[in-house]
Structure formats: C-alpha cells, structure tokens
Amino acid sequence: MFRPYNLIRYPKLVDMLNCKYIIGPSLPDDLSRFDPKTQSVMKEIRRYFSRFTLIHKGRASAVYENDSVLPRAYLVQDYRVVKPDQALEFIKSPEFNPYTTVVLEQDPKLPHPDTASHYIPGEILAYKPNRISCHIRTSKPGFLVLVDNWHPDWKVFVDRKERKLYRANYTFRAVYLGPGEHRVVFEYRSKFFNIGRLLTILGLVLVVALSVVTIKFNI
C-alpha cells in the first residue's frame, strides 16, 4: 500500500494516508528544450501533481497542498467486508470511495445506510505513542476510522466502555459508533508489556527488601 508505485498510480491512497503536503520536483514551464522521451515523463509528473495545489516553487523542488486529504480521524457511515487477501485490491479499485465507506475484514453484521453521506471529521484531543484520545459528534451511526496501523494489542474505549476494534482499510483501525457525542480512546495494552512491568516492580520490591535486611542485620 505504501509503495511509491501505488501512491502514484492510485492517488486516493495519498488522501487516505492523511498526506496534507507533498514535495515534488520543480518542473520548468517550457518543456520544448527537452527530448520527446523526457518531455513525456515530465508531462506525466505534471499531470499527477495537477490534482494538488502548488503553494511553493523552488529551483529544484516544489511543495503542494492536498485539498482532498482525509483527516487523521474521521467517521464514515457505510462499510464493505472484504477478505484480508483481497482488501488492498478492492481499496485500489474505482468501486471504493474512502470518503463514504470503510473496508473491514470482519463482518460487523450491522445494517447499511440507504445513502452514505460524506465523512465527518473527528478531533484528536491527545496523541501519545500508546494512547490516542479523540472526540466526535455525529447524528448518524458509523465507523470512526483512525489513520494509524492496526495491531491486536490495541484496545478501544468509547465513553469509557471497551468496544470491538476492527482492522480497517487494510492497515488502519476503526470502531463502530452510534449517534451522539463520543470520547474515543485507543490504548496499547500488550500482555507481554504488562508481564514485564510486573516483573520490574517485583524486582524493585525485592531489591528494597534485601537492602533493608542488609542494613538491619549489618550483613
């Protein structure tokens, strides 16, 4: 999904990855001084970057703004269930609209809307390596998508209650929300991390206990 070839051939992947700004080559306005093959390549590059807004042009590179970028967290009303080995191909297909639909690998067995509206942006309240807090208000049910990699050790809590976390859009995370205002928290809770933390605490307690015994009995 993140290969440059995919990002060039399927521009909507750039939108899905929350890429707001893109750095590209600064092309000359007049291409007549180049040979036909070079002109053809430059025209393809120019065509690709034409979907973005040029905000700065330097001598060797240029900065573009992506006006159709999806937020880091957003809610869509519809979903499509696809087998894991077919998810990426479906995402790249013209049939998939990331602004209204999320791709899931597990069937939530929920009703589909009659018509799916445009996405609703969410608000990132706090972002830490192992804890992300979001806020969103919606009048209709849907899936809150977080543009962060999915892993089975991530958990999600909606209004302080744990909910099912779905693998979404091939590599991201999603949780189903009903209508209303919600506080959504994603937390990384690895059982191995918890075991390691417990062993560390026990080790510290043992060191303190041995120190006390040593001082008391002058060992």
Confidence of residue 200 (pLDDT cuts 50, 70, 90): confident
- pTM confidence score: 0.83
Does residue 133 share a domain with residue 41? Answer: no
pLDDT at 29: 87
> CA angle, corner 95, sides to 89 and 99, nearest 5?
100
Confidence category of residue 91, pLDDT binned at 50, 70, 90: very high
β pairing state of 73-76 and 21-25: unpaired
Residues 78 and 184 in one domain: yes
Asked if 136 contacts 75 with a C-beta cutoff of 8 angstroms, the reply is yes
Domain check: are 93 and 134 in the same one?
yes
Range of 81's domain? Answer: 73-188
User: Is residue 54 domain-shared with residue 133, that is, in the same domain?
Assistant: no
Q: Do 81 and 176 share a domain, yes or no?
A: yes
Whether residue 35 is predicted with pLDDT greater than 70 in this model: the reply is yes
The total domain count for the chain is 3
Q: Is there a single domain that holds both residue 213 and residue 132?
A: no
Q: Reduced to 3 states, what is the DSSP secondary structure of residue 8?
A: helix
Q: What is the pLDDT of residues 158-187, one digit of tens each?
A: 999 999 999 999 999 999 999 999 999 999
Q: Do 78 and 179 belong to one domain?
A: yes
Asked whether residue 154 falls in the same domain as residue 204, the answer is no
Per-residue pLDDT at 193: 60
Residue 178 lies in a domain: yes
* pLDDT higher than threshold 80 for residue 120: yes
10, part of any domain: no
